[in-house]
């Protein structure tokens, strides 16, 4: 999910921190690759892959290992639970051999609490049941894998973000209704999860695994 609103933010943050950033998306990330390459002095490469297909994930892992030799971290920013599972299992094979690595699965507030459909009104962007079910599954998949890989030095954590304000498709009434649900009284800016991603992927969170880091303005 590298080419999306938050995925591209994570890519900039990691590249700025000196990481060789690998972009993977079902959509073309070539423009983001070019942008990052021009801005940061790191190796950037994009792969156009449908990670909901296991054979494509297996092929992708082989390509990345061939190009980069190692994999230090993985961010699963897609919400298809099968895709997240495939990526966790396949990339963990390489991380286990290295004896160190961090996996971050991106969930959602709606993976923790029921969707309040009242805040959407008539703007037709109501959150579907598939999204809530998948995000809830991602949180428990994280717990399961962190325990399953005990002793392998693979840390697996979840980041649970709240909603990001985007006036391109969100009506003012929705933004107002959503904001009332939070203690901070507003939706998130798209750059407000960057520090969390850096924390979870780095040794700053070395004693953290199986956990869910919730950053939702106080909704939950």
Q: What is the DSSP string of 80-124?
A: -HHHHHHHHHHHHHHHHHHT-EEEEEE--GGGTS---GGGTTTSS
pLDDT, residue 124, reads: 65
pLDDT in the model for residue 28? 87
Averaged over successive runs of 10 residues, the pLDDT of the chain (220 residues) comes to 93 97 93 96 95 97 94 94 97 95 97 92 78 96 97 97 94 94 98 98 97 98
Selected catalytic residue, list 15, 135, 181, 205: 135
Strand partners, 212: 158
Catalytic member of 2, 108, 146, 205: 108
Residue 79 appears among annotated catalytic residues: no
Q: Is 178 a catalytic residue?
A: no
Determine if the pTM surpasses 0.75: yes
- Of 60, 65, 67, 3, nearest to 35 (Cα)? 3
The vertex-202 CA angle with 62 and 51, nearest 5°, equals 35
The pLDDT, as a whole number, for residue 53 is: 96
CA 178 – CA 157 distance, rounded (Å):
26
Region label for 129, one of left (φ > 0), alpha (ψ between -120 and 50) or beta (otherwise): alpha
What is residue 128's predicted lDDT score, i.e. its pLDDT?
Answer: 86
As given in the structure block, the two tokens for residue 87 are 């990526």
The pLDDT assigned to 125 comes to 73
Radius of gyration for the chain, computed over Cα atoms and rounded to the nearest angstrom: 17
- What is the Cα–Cα distance from 42 to 18, expressed in whole angstroms? 6
Report how far residue 129's alpha carbon sits from residue 50's, in angstroms, rounded to the nearest whole number: 22
Short-list 75, 76, 146, 160, CA closest to 112: 160
User: What per-residue confidence (pLDDT) applies to 81?
Assistant: 95
Distances 54 to 26, 76, 83, 89, 130 between C-alpha atoms, Å: 13, 15, 8, 10, 20
Q: Is 108 a catalytic residue?
A: yes
């Amino acid at each position: 999910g590298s080419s999306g609103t938050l995925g591209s933010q994570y890519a900039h943050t990691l590249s700025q921190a000196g990481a060789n950033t690998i972009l993977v998306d079902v959509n073309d990330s070539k423009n983001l690759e070019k942008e990052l390459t021009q801005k940061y002095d790191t190796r950037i490469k994009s792969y156009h892959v449908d990670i909901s297909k296991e054979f494509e994930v297996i092929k992708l892992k082989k390509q990345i290992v061939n190009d980069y030799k190692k994999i230090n971290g993985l961010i699963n920013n897609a919400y298809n639970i099968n895709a997240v599972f495939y990526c966790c299992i396949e990339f963990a094979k390489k991380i286990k051999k290295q004896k160190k690595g961090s996996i971050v699965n991106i969930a959602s507030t709606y993976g923790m609490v029921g969707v309040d459909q009242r805040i959407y009104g008539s703007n037709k962007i109501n959150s579907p049941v598939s999204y809530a079910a998948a995000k809830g599954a991602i949180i428990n998949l994280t717990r399961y894998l962190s325990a399953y890989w005990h002793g392998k030095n693979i840390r697996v954590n979840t980041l649970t973000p709240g909603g990001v304000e985007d006036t391109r498709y969100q009506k003012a009434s929705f933004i107002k209704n959503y904001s009332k649900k939070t203690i901070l009284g507003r939706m998130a800016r798209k750059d407000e999860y960057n520090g969390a991603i850096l924390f979870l992927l780095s040794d700053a969170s070395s004693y953290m695994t199986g956990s869910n880091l919730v950053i939702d303005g106080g909704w939950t």
